[in-house]
Chain A
């Protein structure tokens, strides 16, 4: 394995650990949807660097777009109710 590949993997792993912690530490659900989306992007980079492009593609669409969008829409509904 090349040094560049190994370095990319380590950077991606670190990013996932840092951003995952950031998601947990975000208290406000609306802001959490945004940090969750960025975390999803970091996971995409991780999967790609570990040579799983098909998983990365699914993660990009589901984790970085669909799930945060569902959280945002659910929040909007809950807030309108109040």
Chain B
């Protein structure tokens, strides 16, 4: 395709998208008004299942099956990246990784101070996913990312000493399997996949909203393991793998 043809195709597509955008924006309900049909339905459904955090009610109860699909996409991406980033035939892994220049004292201090705080925050976000904003995905990402403060503060060797890869491979698999297991429990007990099988509890209390906290923990485990594995493979490629 020549530059001229590309420009013409782009101009036609951009004009069409532009017209559709304008038509859509003109037809939208006014910004910040009180007309929210989806909210009215979703909030009522979440409250019926004693779920204080309606977003979690939507993600792990009303459309838990979609969330399982999203979780599987993440699993697939992590496995795909791991396969692509493994050392090739013409590459080998160094056993001894040269240590980088030590980071600034300030970075070390802040890193070591924030490491435990971040990990506790991540666990808190997972554990209270059905009550307050956040949930398994958000908490899992905070956990998986937060662990790498150890890399910033202590370097690659400190990270490797505390973060062995195999347990997180198990965590990735178990987290995904646990989600499916909860779904199958619903199928066995009520006849519908991922239907609630646990007591709903009291609105706003720690044990409430049925299977939602359980799914939050499963997703938290899977996402945290996934982020850690993904970064582990990138770190290995950046620091350890070299040409023969």
Contacts and interface: CB of A to CB of B under 8 A. Distances in A.
Contacts of A76: 238-239
Interface in B35-74: 55
B120 interface: no
A74 B145 CA distance: 17
Nearest to B135: A54
Contact of A54 (B134, B145, B231): B134
B141 interface: yes
Interface stretch (A15-23, A25-33, A61-69): A61-69
Contact of B243 (A54, A57, A65, A81): A81
Given A74-B234, A81-B243, A57 B125 contact: yes
Contacts of A53: 133-134
A1 B30 CA distance: 12
A47 B134 CA distance: 13
A53 B235 CA distance: 30
B138 A58 contact: yes
Interface string A50-82: 000110011001100110011001101100110
A76 B100 CA distance: 12
Nearest to B55: A54
B237 A73 contact: yes
Q: Is the interface of B mostly helix, strand, loop or mixed?
A: helix
B215 interface: no
Contacts of A77: 237-238, 241
Given A54-B133, A69-B231, A81-B243, A61 B138 contact: yes
A66 B231 contact: yes
Interface in B219-238: 227, 230-231, 234-235, 237-238
A73 B234 contact: yes
Contact of A80 (B32, B138, B142, B242): B242
B148 A69 contact: yes
Nearest to B118: A61
B138 A66 contact: no
Contacts of A74: 234, 237-238
A57 B134 contact: yes
Nearest to A5: B32
B137 interface: yes
A54 B135 CA distance: 8
A61 to B, nearest CB: 4
Given A58-B137, A70-B230, A77-B238, 7 more contacts: A61-B138, A61-B145, A62-B141, A65-B145, A69-B234, A70-B231, A74-B234
Interface of B: 32, 55, 125, 133-135, 137-138, 141-142, 144-145, 148, 227, 230-231, 234-235, 237-239, 241-243
6 closest cross-chain pairs (CB), A and B? A53-B133, A61-B141, A73-B238, A73-B234, A57-B138, A76-B238
